[in-house]
Structure 1
Amino acid sequence: MNKLFFSILLSAMLFGCGGGGGGANVNEGDNVLSQKKPQPYKLDSTEIASSITNITYKLDIYVPVEYQAGGAPLPVIYASDGQWRSNSYKGILESSGVSAVLVAIHEGPKSRRNIDYLTPGVYDYYEFLTQELIPFVESEYSVLPTNRTLVGHSYGGAMSFYSMLIADPNRSYFDNFVSADPSVADTETLLKLEEERFHLSKKMNSRMILTGAMKGGNGPDVEMAYAYMQNRKYEGLNITLIKQDVTHDHSADQTFKDALPLLFP
């Protein structure tokens, strides 16, 4: 299906899409962090060598300063592009008052994200996340295996979206997917992955927060992808679209800020 046909099809869907089936369509600013007490976080820097991708990834792992090993388990957030987003995400998390473990994954060698976050490399990257990174983190930190979130922006946002689609329907590693102004203009890839997933199972017990930057960003493509997913009517899929009055580059931090009160009310 070419992009022109996809655009015509999904433009029609947008007019008929009422945001049902567990989804919502909200504007930026509708979701404001509740007035929780800010709390400081501390950094643990380490790295992990993947035998799947053959890449060594630097990790910035942030935990609340009051976190105690072996204490009450916390939700865990895995965020791509740690080389750019690590510090700002940490600051947003501190201001939010949310208690969670943040694992910011650097891309590895420069431009490795162009391989890991897109097809076909995303298949190996997803296996690295689920078979190597998650076991490593959960062996070192007290986190909730039932409350894992995967966050990405741009190519990383596409990676988060794709990861939801290529996940085994019978083995869900991530409960929440946050896709910030994802690069989903390659509609043939998105439709191929979704079609394969749809034929495997029409159940998708996942929460997705999808944002589109409307100031020259990927907003129109994101709106169409949202409409397409909504009209598939997956059982158990809760998808929220947030249209943001920001540029593509500013969407990453804005999305993280918007997502926290939705994921951790």
Structure 2
Amino acid sequence: MSTTGLAGRAVVVTGAGSGIGRAAALRFAAEGAKVLVADLNEDGATAVVAEIEGAGGTAVAVVGDLSLPEVVDEVVATAVGTLGGIDVLVNNAGIMDRMSALGETDDAEWERVMRINVTAPFRLTRATLPHMLAAGRGSVVFTASEASLRGSAAGAAYTASKHAVAGLTRSMAVMYRDKGIRTNAIAPGGTATSIQVDVRPDAQGPAVLGAYMHNVGRLSAAEEQAAAIVFLASDAASNINGVLLPVDNGWAAV
């Protein structure tokens, strides 16, 4: 018998059209949850919805840029109107930087990474909270990163953004622990996904970071990250709150 307690619950997963988000959406659906698949890529989002429905599950897609307030509003309205609420929010969508050192990071790179990796999940979580507070329960899971734990896993913008995600996770865990809402994050190491890294080979950042990458270990599968997300969201983790969980084959221990 499943101990997740996820059957019938409404789950929003961002960046769910591919990679870790897709794997998480499919795993939640397999546990009996109703899933909102949010992604910028329409083909990916609709394909995941079709896969869930084909297996007998319930899913709906919302397509758009989650850094736009109107898309955030659409996600929340659709989840509440179609799925009946939001029991679990998985803030997974994100992008990489160009591995630039701080002195090489221009305003456009900084603002794009922070907008998508920090501001978008901040806004979506803020819009979701009233519904979780009204229900007296909820679980939020962020996808942080190995770059949340160290300064040698990415460029300045991505590292700063993922440290911010870790801060949001811990702040929420403290602020809402007595309201029935748990907030945790996974910190993936190297993972086989479709995320694109437009590295600047002529810059200082990649040259310096390369010296540290031998500690990465094996790449994980997206499904391994998804398993951790679903666990943290589930009743099996009912007393786990404010955790930043490395899923990295021991990279964080090196």
> Shared fold (TM-score greater than 0.5)?
no
Query: Which of the two has greater strand per residue?
Result: 1
**TM-score when scaled to structure 2?**
0.41
Structure with bigger RCO (C-alpha 8 Å, 6+ apart): 1
More helix per residue:
2
Q: TM-score scaled to structure 1, two decimals?
A: 0.40
